[in-house]
Every structure is written in C-alpha cells, then in structure tokens.
Amino acid sequence: MPTSLHLHKDAIFEHIRTVVLEYLPKRYKILDVGPGIGIYGSNLQDLNIDAVEIHEPYIEQYKIKRYYKNVFVGNILEFNYDDYDYIIIGDVLEHIHVEAAQKLIKDITLKGIKCLVAVPFNCPQDAVDGVESEIHHQPDLTPRIMRSRYPELEVYLSTNMTDGYAYYTNYLKWIK
C-alpha cells in the first residue's frame, strides 16, 4: 500500500515551501524516502527533489519519475544521503526495524540534515500483495514510544495521539 494518510498534507507542503526553504542553502537538495505514489513529489514538483524507492515496481506502476528530478532504487539504510539538505521520511519509519531506524534518525541529525518524519500510530501491517517492504516492523508506535525511541524528533503536527498520525521534525529547535 504505497500511500499515506492525506491528513495535514497541505499544511506540510506549505511548511516546506515557506519555512523549510528559508533555512536551506540556495542550492538545496531534498530527498523523498519511499515516495510510493509520489504524494510529496507531485505537490512539490517545482522544488529540487529526488526520491529513493525500495520497491522498484512502484516506480513504473505509479509513474513517479514525472514528479522527481531523480528516482533511485534502493534502501535508505544503504543509500548515501549526505548531499541532501532535507529528507522526507513519510510513512517509512514504521517499515524499518527499531535499531536501524534509530541509527538512521540519529545519523541524519548528527550530519545536520533536516528531516520530516510522518508515522501512523498503532498500525500493524503485514506484506501487501507479496511486497515484504510493506511490513510494519514498528506497529506499536505511539507518541510516548516516539519520544523514547527518537529523542532527536519533535512533534510538528498530529491527529488523535493514540490511534492517529503525526509529523515530526528534527529541526524545530534550529529554526525557533
């Protein structure tokens, strides 16, 4: 299921356009991790945005190359994201095992790369249509668990904090 909830997406697109771009270098690079059907790319087409997708068939199936400058096939855990200034991890963190996800968020933050993370809470999911990368390895996410596992992240926007959905960033303290 390569889609995400559309909750607050317009606010997120506006945040990226008005707040984030103000703090990025003039020649910024944005990476959308796990673009799925290309929600971020299609709404931010005019920005310098690349994507990395773990499940290659999604690239053609959803024709996402039309939305991104470059689309790479790969796993974010093995991808060199050092040249990016901003990383969107929308509905991806829950698909990564805890230790690897913690290391990823810590590494991104230590490198000074700004990131936006969107996650569903209490959301178990098995493989979808045989796609193993769709499994949720962190189905237990809640606001409390996010705080304890990912101290680098702060809540930016959220819905129902128990069974809902939230957006986190690692940069609110940098731009205040």
pLDDT digits (tens, 9 = 90+) for 20-79: 999 899 999 999 999 999 999 999 999 999 999 999 999 999 999 999 999 999 999 999
Q: In the predicted model, is pLDDT for residue 4 greater than 60?
A: no
Q: In the predicted model, is pLDDT for residue 173 greater than 80?
A: no
Tens digits of residue pLDDT in 141-159: 999 999 999 999 999 988 7
For residues 151, 78, 34, 59, the Cα torsion angle rounded to the nearest 10 degrees is 180
Q: Is the distance from CB of 89 to CB of 117 less than 8 angstroms?
A: yes
- The mean pLDDT of the chain is 91
Q: Is the distance from CB of 32 to CB of 91 less than 8 angstroms?
A: no
User: What local confidence, expressed as pLDDT, does residue 5 receive?
Assistant: 53
User: What local confidence, expressed as pLDDT, does residue 57 receive?
Assistant: 94
Q: Is the distance from CB of 68 to CB of 38 less than 8 angstroms?
A: yes
The model scores a pTM over 0.85:
yes
User: What local confidence, expressed as pLDDT, does residue 159 receive?
Assistant: 73
Burial 78-98 (b: 16+ CB within 10 A, else e): eeebeebbbbbbbbbbbbbee
User: What local confidence, expressed as pLDDT, does residue 109 receive?
Assistant: 97
Tokens of 123: 């959301």
Tokens of 72: 């790479």
Q: In the predicted model, is pLDDT for residue 176 greater than 80?
A: no
User: What local confidence, expressed as pLDDT, does residue 1 receive?
Assistant: 43
d(CA 94, CA 80): 20
